[in-house]
Structure 1
Amino acid sequence: MVFHNTLSFAQELDRTDPLRHFRDRFYIPERDGKSLVYFCGNSLGLQPKAVREAVNAELATWQHLGVEGWFEGETPWLSFHATCKEALGQIVGAAPSEVCPMNALTVNLHLLLASFYQPTPAKYKILTIAGDFPSDQYALETHVAFRNHLPADAIIEVAPRPDGLIHTSDIQRAIAEHCESLALIWLSGLNYYTGQVYNMAAIAETARHYGIPVGFDLAHAIGNVPLRLHDWGVDFATWCSYKYLNGGPGAVSGIFVHEKHHDQNLPRLAGWWGYQEENRFAMTKGFVPMRGADGWQLSTPNIVALAMHRAALSITAEAGMPQLRRKSEQLTGFLEHVLLDAGFGRSDEAGSLPYQILTPADPNQRGCQLSLLVKASGRALFDRLASTGIIGDWREPDCIRLAPNPLYNTFEEVWQVGETLRSSSVG
């Protein structure tokens, strides 16, 4: 698409947008009676209007049925998680049996590492990327230390190139170089800081070639970029649902475990909710897991959180990832166009530009987030945007993240961001 940095062009794109009606299904934050330009869905998605009704329905069940809500009512709580699985599978490219909503992301990561990180004296190292999200780093550190290895020795990090990005070939080369000592590969599918999407299919194929389990943190990828976890042969993954899935602050997480592992007797940290559902209340010794991803559940689920999750999931599933991706590429492409017009440049290896777009220019290597490096007075520029009603995200020391969400953001809002930057010191 050829973009034009004009209000009329943006309004025409909004008028012909087949997904424009989804915006009406969210509450848009306001200040002084005026809608904010909310480009922070990569941190916390907006509230779907259907969430309140979904929560009230479960409160009514609790009110009228009490404990019998586990077995009676429109959606008995005992199997409530199963009502989310079809939509989750559609969004991540998996069979319903391969996914399960549960816990929080880092809890799930620890559970999955207990199953898939099985070090031996010769193969005990984990390959990851430098500067990945801190929670992932801490989880890996503590797991290798728990297995009596030194993190500095057992964790291999692939560092970014001078342009701030990590190339797929660098990850593949590191896998090949260390294949004799690697017990696991774990990294984000989409980098939270740079907005770069890694080629998960290629990485999984390389891992499979060397017989090394591979898993992904999909916190910034799920609901944002197309995923085909089953077809790619990814072994396991986990994510949060409060960003692009709009499940609410601290919303329930989820996991993926490829079906090739469902009949394996993998080690795991067990809890009673992962026990075979039909015999769970027999309260017998000896853990017998539910088949599939459900077998990694631990405790009685938070039904109110699951109700919020299901209501939000249904919106993403209804819109469909192909349609969301199509609009996302246009929104982000238009944002890049107005940023360049406002004085930003492409990140260069010398790092000499005062205003840089760090995120790759190739749409296949990014989602809806653009990370902007502002070397001088970056925080002041961020505060200037916020004061005019443009809500982004600030990351130390010099990064502004802007993420136009195709479910509720508009092209006119993108144009407005460009005009604000143009009138600031950037232009």
Structure 2
Amino acid sequence: MTFQNTLEFAQQLDAKDKLFKYRKEFHYPKVNGKEVIYFTGNSLGLQPKRTQAYVDEVMKDWRELAVEGHFYADKPWWDYHERLASGLAKVVGASPKEVTVMNTLTVNLHLLMVSFYQPTAKRFKILCEEKAFPSDQYMLQSQLRFHGLDPKDALVEVKKRDGEHSWRTEDILDKINEVGEELALVLMGGVNYYNGQVLDMEAITKAGKSVGAFVGWDLAHAAGNVKLNLHDWDVDFAAWCSYKYMNSGPGNASGSFVHERHLGKTDIPRFEGWWGNKKETRFLMEPEFDPIATADAWQLSNPPILSLAPYLASLELFDEVGMDALLEKQKTITAYLEFVLHEIDKQVESSFEIITPKERGCQLSVFLHGEGRSLFDYLMKNGVITDWREPNVIRLAPAPFYCSYADMYNFGQILKQGILKK
């Protein structure tokens, strides 16, 4: 497709967009009385309008049924989380029994590492990407110290090459083979939060398994954003937050994946709680844990229903649209945003450098050479909600559910005005 940097062309694309109608399904903040151009779905997705009804239903059941809501609500609370499994499975490429919803992202990664990081004198190292998201860094370092290991010796970081902004798959695979029999776990971010790069999860998983390591993924920026096939890729475990591209609300519950070959085992290392016990015997209050033969076995406590209700509302949207349609628009709208950036770059003295490689989801991370925080502030004051990363990077994520092609054009014009006003 040959793009044009005109409002008319952008509106033509919107007219052909099968997902355009879904913009009406979301609430938008307003600046100066106008709906914003929202580029931060990679931090917090917009609220679906249908969310309110799902939350109100729970509040009504609580008000009218109280404790009986666990069993007699229209969506009984005791198995409420099971309603999310089918939709989530489609998003991450799994079977419903391999996914569950519980806790929050870093909590779940810690819990999953209980099962999948069991260091020995010979095999004890963990491999991750250089400058992983801080929470992952803290988690990995604390896990190593918990096991009596020094992160300086046991944590292996794959670095980018000098002068490059993204990782090369061959460098990751080479490092896995180099660490070899000492490698206990590969745990990386499937989509890097800073540069937006999508790692080759299939190839990395295969390489990690080939040297005898477990392989897990932090999918915070991947779930609902990129194509995932966790089961077919033979991933051991994964976890993701639900409030970014999944639009479930701030700090909401996390999704988790455990491959089916690890399910139904009573001897797997695991922190256990009563909601992971089989439903048939849960309320018998037996002293011995009897795990559900699904990923629910990793649950500890009864699920937070008021958190799951918005997640279920969002998953209904994903089920209506399907990941294939979202990915198709994601590819086109991100390419159009890239085109607009290059067109504006030709018209101003500043220079934009897109540091996100072609292996990407819908995020573009852009170095604004010659610009400072004042440009970001200008964008925010003029209705463009984006985010800033030092030293001078803005992250732009045109989420396909609620961003339009006209948004991309209008953003370009606001960006241009902000630069020229210096």
TM class, shorter-chain normalised? Answer: over 0.9
Partner of 1:26: 26
Partner of 1:147: 147
Q: SS at 1:216's partner residue?
A: strand
Partner of 1:10: 10
Question: Measured at CA, do residues 89 and 399 of structure 1 come closer, stay the same or move farther in structure 2, by a change above 3 Å?
Answer: same
Q: How many Å separate the matches in 1 of 2:209 and 2:260?
A: 15
Partner of 1:405: 399
Matches within 5 A, 1:37-186: 37-161=37-161, 162-186=163-187
Q: Which moved more, 1:274-283 or 1:106-115?
A: 274-283
Q: How many Å separate the matches in 2 of 1:178 and 1:39?
A: 39
Question: Measured at CA, do residues 338 and 354 of structure 1 come closer, stay the same or move farther in structure 2, by a change above 3 Å?
Answer: closer
Q: How many Å separate the matches in 2 of 1:36 and 1:280?
A: 48
1:159-211 Cα deviation digits (max 9, x unpaired): 11221111111110100000111000000000000000001011111112222
Partner of 1:240: 241
1:378-419 Cα deviation digits (max 9, x unpaired): 311111111110000111222100111100010000001111
1:42-65 Cα deviation digits (max 9, x unpaired): 100000001111001011111111
Partner of 1:392: 386
Report if aligned partners of 2:181, 2:212 keep a CA contact under 8 Å in 1: no
Counterpart code for 1:104: T
Q: How many Å separate the matches in 2 of 1:231 and 1:415?
A: 39
Q: How many Å separate the matches in 2 of 1:59 and 1:68?
A: 13
Q: Does 1:288 align with 2:290?
A: yes
Q: Which moved more, 1:415-424 or 1:198-207?
A: 415-424
Q: Does 1:374 align with 2:368?
A: yes
Partner of 1:355: 352
TM-score where L is the length of structure 2 = 0.96
Partner of 1:298: 300
Q: How many Å separate the matches in 1 of 2:171 and 2:289?
A: 42
Q: SS at 2:82's partner residue?
A: helix
Q: How many Å separate the matches in 1 of 2:166 and 2:420?
A: 24
Q: How many Å separate the matches in 2 of 1:232 and 1:379?
A: 41
Q: How many Å separate the matches in 2 of 1:176 and 1:344?
A: 44
Counterpart code for 1:409: C
Counterpart code for 2:112: L
Q: SS at 2:188's partner residue?
A: strand
Counterpart code for 2:406: E
Number of matched pairs = 417
Q: How many Å separate the matches in 1 of 2:343 and 2:376?
A: 18
Report if aligned partners of 1:344, 1:355 keep a CA contact under 8 Å in 2: no
Deviation for aligned residue 1:426:
7.1
Q: How many Å separate the matches in 1 of 2:281 and 2:341?
A: 58
Deviation for aligned residue 1:344:
7.6
Partner of 1:348: none
Report if aligned partners of 1:186, 1:215 keep a CA contact under 8 Å in 2: yes
Q: SS at 2:181's partner residue?
A: coil
Partner of 1:202: 203
Report if aligned partners of 1:344, 1:356 keep a CA contact under 8 Å in 2: no
Q: How many Å separate the matches in 2 of 1:359 and 1:212?
A: 29
Report if aligned partners of 1:98, 1:257 keep a CA contact under 8 Å in 2: yes
RMSD of equivalent CA atoms: 1.4
Partner of 1:350: none
Unaligned runs of 5+ in 2: none
1:293-330 Cα deviation digits (max 9, x unpaired): 10000112110111111001111221111100000111
Partner of 1:276: 278
Q: SS at 1:101's partner residue?
A: strand
Q: Which of these residues, 266, 269, 281, is aligned with residue 268 of structure 2?
A: 266
1:307-358 Cα deviation digits (max 9, x unpaired): 111001111221111100000111100000010111189xxxxxxx953111
Question: Structure 1 runs of 4+ off > 3 angstroms?
Answer: none
Unaligned runs of 5+ in 1: 346-352
Partner of 2:418: 424
Report if aligned partners of 2:329, 2:400 keep a CA contact under 8 Å in 1: yes
Q: SS at 1:245's partner residue?
A: coil
Question: Measured at CA, do residues 426 and 117 of structure 1 come closer, stay the same or move farther in structure 2, by a change above 3 Å?
Answer: farther
Partner of 2:334: 332
Q: How many Å separate the matches in 1 of 2:155 and 2:178?
A: 14
Q: How many Å separate the matches in 1 of 2:3 and 2:261?
A: 45
Q: How many Å separate the matches in 1 of 2:50 and 2:417?
A: 38
Q: SS at 2:238's partner residue?
A: strand
Q: SS at 1:267's partner residue?
A: coil
Q: Percent identity?
A: 48
